[in-house]
């Protein structure tokens, strides 16, 4: 299993660069970080930790983060699938070449005023100022008021006003509570952060920051010695994913693991098929040669806090309610207080046994095909305005078999939504068809690996699935926006095999599948056609549209 492999620690730059992809000058970037660290801190770093961003090739998923207070929950995006999302179907992300790099070294001259484990953190982006912080041991009574023991550490992270160093602290936090709970102290360190994953673009820059930070603090505190020497215990990729997921919760992101798994477990030239039911698992899916992915930022930012009740939160309630109504129509057992998911409905209908693992792909595809017929029961039964496929709140409650009070407790007491009609049919149709496309995408890639098929024929088939996904996202799940639609249309007009939104939607980026020898021409044509790109040149343009190949996951370089 990929998750059971140890985190790679390199001492040879040639081996390291060879694992990262060819679209960027990695040697220049890594050298620049090392030189800047030496200039700022007077010595070279001991380690550089790398964590890539990720792109969603096909599929779209969200995840709920419940509010910490009595306020309604706000939905947080978990790009194209992650842990226990509200549908539980598998997804296909891939790590990208753009990444976060964190150079780190122990501070050699420790002063009396330095607190244990203190951190001097700097960022190569000039808009971010130097930050100095230190963890504090948190003490509390555990057995009696007289017996007080060290239980964990504390780092102040203001989740209401997240800053760049908040993600560094989040990664550090996990290392503290997992490896320094017995009274020992972490090393005081200097760190320098840089990155090429555009922030707020739906490419998981925050997850990459937390993964990179966790990895850097593990390395500098000697916790990766087994990975480096081959002697003693090794920290696996799966362990790093689990730690990073828990760490990201420190900044208020209740992530389920998809972003972190893609950043850590990915391998070059492959996507990562992640399944969440009946348990989390990941496996590499080799992609055909001859094409690259081009990421284009629409420059539209969706304000989740403002639109959640009409977009993110609403989709969760619609799909969960659709799952209950389908289960009731199919006479499947569902407890009154259970938030059954669409994936669980499929499993129960097919007689899936959780202990036996995920059902065979052919079986799952066949059941999904049946579900696309069964969802007719989600259409309104009463006559309504012409073309209206949604149901009212009253109709939805009646279809669920619950009382109004029971329905509210299960589906509305923890989240705020706003709608006159709930599009149960459209949402379920998208989810089931998108789940089928993910499986087909995976099957095409796996079949191509062992057959003499023309790579271009395979790429065209994958592009067609991406196009179908974009249509479904726009028309059924309704999570696209005019700018994303325009970008995908432009992409197809100038030579892409397929193009779709990536991430949550309502803004953010598109991903297009483009022939490797057509990259420069494609970017030039898109840049000249998409209005918001006009006037952008050089680095400014490179920030919003760029090519990438599927890259390897997180790693560490150790300086000799």
What confidence tens digit (pLDDT) does each residue in 296-342 have? 999 998 766 677 789 888 998 999 999 999 999 999 999 999 999 99
**CA distance linking residue 140 with residue 330, whole number of Å:** 52
pLDDT of residue 491: 98
Dig out the tokens for 229 from the structure. Answer: 């020497």
Structural contact between residues 527 and 294, judged by C-beta atoms closer than 8 angstroms: no
pLDDT of residue 152: 74
Sign of CA dihedral 219, 108, 164, 53: negative
- The chain-wide mean pLDDT, for the chain, equals 87
8-state DSSP, 159:
T
pLDDT of residue 81: 29
The pLDDT > 70 percentage for the chain reads 89
Residue 353 CB contacts under 8 Å (≥ 6 apart), including other chains = none
Mean pLDDT over residues 15-27, rounded? 71
Q: Bigger pLDDT: 324 or 61?
A: 324
State the CB neighbour count (10 A cutoff) for residue 262.
35
**CA distance linking residue 557 with residue 560, whole number of Å:** 10
**CA distance linking residue 95 with residue 269, whole number of Å:** 9
Residue 405 CB contacts under 8 Å (≥ 6 apart), including other chains = none
**151-156, long-range: CB < 8 A, 24+ apart:** 151/181, 152/176, 152/177, 152/181, 153/177, 153/180, 155/250
**CA distance linking residue 167 with residue 173, whole number of Å:** 10
pLDDT of residue 446: 94
pLDDT of residue 82: 25
> CB-side exposure of 323: number of CA atoms within 13 Å?
28
User: What is the pLDDT confidence band of residue 24, given thresholds at 50, 70 and 90?
Assistant: low
State the CB neighbour count (10 A cutoff) for residue 114.
14
pLDDT score of 484 more than 90 = yes
pLDDT tens digit sequence for 353-400 = 877 788 899 999 999 999 999 999 999 987 666 778 999 999 999 999
**CA distance linking residue 9 with residue 19, whole number of Å:** 12
Q: Mind giving me the DSSP string for 82-107?
A: -TT-SS---BEEEEEEEEEEEEEEE-
Sign of CA dihedral 345, 349, 350, 352: positive
3-class SS at 426?
A: helix
pLDDT tens digit sequence for 95-126 = 999 999 999 999 987 765 678 899 999 999 99
Cis peptide before 543 (omega within 30 of 0): no
pLDDT tens digit sequence for 413-456 = 988 899 999 999 999 999 999 999 999 999 999 999 888 778 89
Structural contact between residues 20 and 555, judged by C-beta atoms closer than 8 angstroms: no
pLDDT score of 280 more than 80 = no
pLDDT of residue 61: 55
Residue bearing tokens 């259409």: 379
User: What is the pLDDT confidence band of residue 65, given thresholds at 50, 70 and 90?
Assistant: very low
User: What is the pLDDT confidence band of residue 344, given thresholds at 50, 70 and 90?
Assistant: very high
Q: Is 5 exposed, middle or buried (0-12, 13-18, 19+ CB in 10 A)?
A: middle
pLDDT score of 1 more than 80 = no
pLDDT tens digit sequence for 288-297 = 999 999 999 9
pLDDT of residue 489: 98
Residue bearing tokens 């006003």: 161
User: What is the pLDDT confidence band of residue 545, given thresholds at 50, 70 and 90?
Assistant: very high
Structural contact between residues 87 and 342, judged by C-beta atoms closer than 8 angstroms: yes
pLDDT of residue 444: 95
Helix 164-179 and helix 205-220, axial crossing angle in degrees, nearest 10:
40
Would you put residue 474 in left (φ > 0), alpha (ψ -120 to 50) or beta?
A: alpha
pLDDT tens digit sequence for 169-210 = 999 999 999 999 777 889 999 999 999 998 878 888 889 999
3-state helix/strand/coil string of 233-284: CCCEHHHHHHHHHHHHHHHCCCCCCHHHHHHHHCCCCEEEEEECCCCCEEEE
Q: Is 32 exposed, middle or buried (0-12, 13-18, 19+ CB in 10 A)?
A: middle
Would you put residue 51 in left (φ > 0), alpha (ψ -120 to 50) or beta?
A: beta
Mean pLDDT over residues 453-461, rounded? 91
H/E element, 131: strand 131-133
Give the phi and the psi of residue 56 in degrees, each rounded to 5.
-95, 115
pLDDT of residue 140: 53
3-class SS at 286?
A: strand
H/E element, 137: strand 136-141
Residue bearing tokens 């496309």: 437
Dig out the tokens for 128 from the structure. Answer: 């971010």
pLDDT score of 78 more than 60 = no
pLDDT score of 144 more than 70 = no
> CB-side exposure of 557: number of CA atoms within 13 Å?
23
State the CB neighbour count (10 A cutoff) for residue 210.
36
pLDDT of residue 304: 63
The length of the chain is 560
**CA distance linking residue 247 with residue 254, whole number of Å:** 10
**CA distance linking residue 393 with residue 421, whole number of Å:** 7
Residue 514 CB contacts under 8 Å (≥ 6 apart), including other chains = 291, 292, 293, 294, 491, 495, 496, 497, 522, 547
Structural contact between residues 239 and 6, judged by C-beta atoms closer than 8 angstroms: no
pLDDT of residue 64: 43
pLDDT of residue 139: 60
Mean pLDDT over residues 484-502, rounded? 97
Q: How far is CA 286 from CA 290, 318, 466, 526, in A?
A: 13, 34, 17, 28
Catalytic residue numbers read: 259
């Amino acid at each position: 299993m990929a998750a059971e492999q140890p985190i790679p620690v390199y001492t040879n730059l040639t081996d390291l660069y060879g694992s990262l992809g060819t679209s960027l000058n990695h040697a220049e970037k890594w050298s620049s970080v090392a030189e800047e660290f030496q200039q700022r801190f007077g010595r070279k770093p001991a380690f550089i930790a790398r964590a890539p961003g990720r792109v969603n090739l096909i599929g779209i998923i969200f995840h709920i983060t419940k509010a910490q207070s009595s306020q309604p929950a706000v939905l947080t995006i978990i790009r194209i699938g992650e842990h226990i999302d509200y549908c539980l179907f598998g997804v296909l992300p891939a790590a990208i070449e753009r990444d976060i790099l964190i150079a780190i070294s122990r501070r050699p001259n420790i002063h009396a005023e330095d607190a244990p484990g203190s951190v001097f953190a700097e960022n190569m982006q000039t808009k971010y100022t130097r930050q100095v912080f230190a963890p504090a041991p948190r003490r509390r009574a555990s057995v009696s008021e007289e017996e007080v023991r060290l239980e964990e550490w504390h780092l102040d992270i203001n989740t209401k006003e997240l800053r760049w160093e908040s993600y560094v602290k989040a990664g550090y936090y996990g290392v503290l509570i997992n490896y320094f709970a017995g009274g020992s102290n972490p090393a005081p360190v200097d760190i320098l952060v840089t990155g090429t994953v555009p922030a707020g673009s739906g490419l998981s820059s925050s997850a990459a920051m937390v993964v990179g930070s966790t990895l850097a603090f593990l390395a500098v505190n000697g916790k990766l010695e087994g990975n480096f020497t081959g002697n003693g215990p090794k920290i696996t990729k799966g362990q790093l994913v689990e730690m990073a997921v828990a760490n990201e919760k420190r900044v208020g992101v209740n992530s389920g693991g998809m972003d972190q798994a893609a950043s850590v477990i990915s391998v070059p030239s492959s996507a990562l098929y992640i399944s969440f039911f009946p348990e989390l698992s990941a496996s590499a899916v080799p992609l055909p040669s001859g094409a690259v992915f081009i990421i284009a930022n629409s420059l539209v930012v969706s304000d989740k806090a403002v639109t959640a009740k009409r977009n993110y939160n609403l989709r969760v309630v619609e799909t969960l309610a659709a799952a209950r109504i389908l289960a009731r129509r199919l006479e499947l057992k569902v407890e009154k207080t259970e938030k059954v998911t669409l994936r669980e409905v499929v499993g129960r209908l097919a007689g899936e046994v959780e202990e036996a693992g995920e059902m065979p792909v052919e079986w799952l595809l066949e059941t999904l095909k049946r579900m696309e017929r069964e969802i007719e029961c989600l259409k309104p039964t009463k006559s309504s305005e012409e073309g209206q496929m949604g149901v009212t709140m009253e109709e939805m409650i009646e279809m669920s078999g619950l009382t109004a009070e029971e329905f509210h407790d299960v589906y509305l007491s923890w989240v705020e939504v706003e709608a006159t009609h709930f599009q149960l049919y459209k949402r379920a149709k998208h989810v089931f068809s998108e789940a089928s496309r993910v499986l087909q995408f995976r099957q095409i890639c796996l079949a191509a690996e062992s057959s003499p098929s023309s790579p271009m024929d395979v790429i065209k088939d994958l592009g067609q699935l991406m196009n179908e996904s974009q249509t479904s996202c726009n028309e059924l799940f309704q999570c696209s926006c005019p700018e994303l639609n325009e970008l995908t249309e432009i992409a197809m007009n100038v030579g892409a095999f397929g193009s779709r939104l990536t991430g949550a939607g309502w803004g953010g980026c598109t991903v297009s599948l483009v022939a490797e020898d057509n990259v420069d021409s494609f970017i030039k044509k898109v840049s000249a056609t998409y209005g918001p790109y006009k006037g952008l040149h050089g680095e400014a343009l490179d920030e919003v549209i760029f090519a990438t190949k599927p890259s390897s996951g997180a790693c560490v370089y150790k300086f000799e």
